[in-house]
Amino acid sequence: MTHLTLDEYREMVDSIIDIRNTTGEMPEFAHISNIKIPREDYSNMIERVNKFILEMGRSPRSVEIG
């Protein structure tokens, strides 16, 4: 399974938010570090990271894609 570093993850989320603010819709895919991530996968990633932060009180070191 492929992973993103925390910095790559934050960059991906910033890009998704920018697109959402510009177009009013979430992008079909997120592109980061030559990886194309479908909407369903990046939505799941965001949910998992938010849950991790709430439960552990800190950010994860890396985030699994998918």
Q: What is the pLDDT of residues 43-59, one digit of tens each?
A: 999 999 999 999 999 88
Per-residue confidence at 1, pLDDT binned at 50, 70, 90?
A: low
In angstroms, the CA 3 to CA 17 distance is 20
CB contact at 8 A, 66 and 2: yes
Q: What is the dihedral of CA 14, 18, 19, 25, to 10 degrees?
A: 100
Q: What is the pLDDT of residues 16-44, one digit of tens each?
A: 999 999 999 999 999 998 999 999 999 99
Which of 26, 36, 24, 30 shows the shortest CA–CA distance to 12?
A: 30
